[in-house]
Amino acid sequence: MTTQYSKSSQKNNLHNIELLSAYARNPSLEMRNRLVEHNLGLVRQVAHRISRQCSEPYEDLEQIGYLGLIRAIERFNPQQGCAFSSFAIPYIRGEMLHYLRDKGSVMRIPRRWQELYNRGKKLRKQLTASLGRPPVDLELAEALGVPLAEWNECQMALQNRLLVSLDATVSQNLDCSISFGETLPDHEYQAKQKLEEDRLQLQRAMSQLEEKTKAAIECVFLRELPRKEAAKQIGMSPMTVTRHLQKGIQQLSVLLEPQVA
């Protein structure tokens, strides 16, 4: 059974690599959708983990996670030799954490809800004493004389309004929690990630150039060699190197334009 599972897993991984390579060569909406379907498990894995650590519904986190998966598919370069799962999970997790951060923003709360929330806090203490246990939300809503949905919205609004410490957790699991600070963007990391994405996009575009054009750009622009030295290494005249540079720049501007847009 283990051997069969291993073979099936290897087969799926190979198919995934083939799809990613095909998408890198010729991006299309149809191919991207196939890749999303093929990698749903990554989104579900992260959504299950984070949903156990916060109060957000699993379904909402899953939908947000697909945005991260799509970003990862569009930026992944199969030639880098990196596993797609290792590349994609930070994107998926990042989208979910940003969503949690945005849900925690400061809001203006209706006065009626503020009063309802305060009444609910007092009633919770009274019911806990009379029942011998903390009341459930339905019991509180009935005691307050409001629908359960309104009481839940009232609680969520008041909790999300409060300013919290960066060390505070958005967690219901004591063994594994996420701090509020972890959901905030790391600008230094984002800058490095942007540079890495730009490098991968340039590398993908470079791979579509003719070999001599690619060699000319690498020697002159990336290795910063004089054109005469580049011409010797490639085996052509400096004039030909210049023509290949002009040709390569024009082609790269076309290849990179959709990604920049």
In this structure, what is the dihedral angle of CA atoms 91, 94, 98, 100, given to the nearest 10 degrees? Answer: 120
Number of other CB atoms surrounding residue 231 within 10 Å: 21
- Calculate the dihedral angle through the C-alpha atoms of 199, 94, 260, 253, rounding to the nearest 10 degrees: 20
- The tokens describing 197, both together, are 């994405």
**CA neighbor of 78 nearest in space, from 34, 22, 12, 9:** 22
- Residue 80, pLDDT above cutoff 80: no
Q: What is the pLDDT of residue 66?
A: 92
Q: In the prediction, which pLDDT does 224 show?
A: 83
Looking at the predicted structure, is the pLDDT value of residue 76 above 70?
yes
- 233 vs 3 pLDDT, higher one: 233
How far does Cα 242 stand from its chain's mean position? 41
- Smallest Cα–Cα separation from 48: which of 89, 103, 101, 16? 89
Task: List the single range of 20-29, 71-80, 235-244, 252-261 with lowest mean pLDDT.
Answer: 252-261
pTM: 0.42
What structural domains and CATH numbers belong to the chain?
2-105 (1.10.1740.10), 111-182 (1.10.10.10), 208-260 (1.10.10)
241 CB burial (10 A radius; 0-12, 13-18, 19+): buried
107-138: pLDDT as tens digits: 455 677 778 888 888 898 898 889 888 888 88
Q: Would the pLDDT of 50 be above 70? A: yes
Residue 177, CA distances (Å) to 68, 112, 161, 166 in order:
21, 33, 21, 13
- pLDDT of 43: 92
The predicted structure's pLDDT at residue 165: 47
For 208-232, what is the mean pLDDT?
86
123: closest CA among 145, 97, 92, 99?
145
- Tokens 């501007």 — which residue? 253
- pLDDT score recorded for residue 105: 44
- Residue 146 reports pLDDT greater than 50: yes
252: Cβ contacts below 8 Å, ≥ 6 apart = 202, 205, 206, 209, 217
The neighbour count for residue 26, using CB atoms within 10 Å, is: 7
Which of 159, 218, 68, 250 is CA-nearest to residue 230? Answer: 218
Question: For 149-184, how does the pLDDT look when each residue is reduced to its tens digit (9 = 90+)?
Answer: 888 777 776 665 544 444 555 444 444 455 555 555
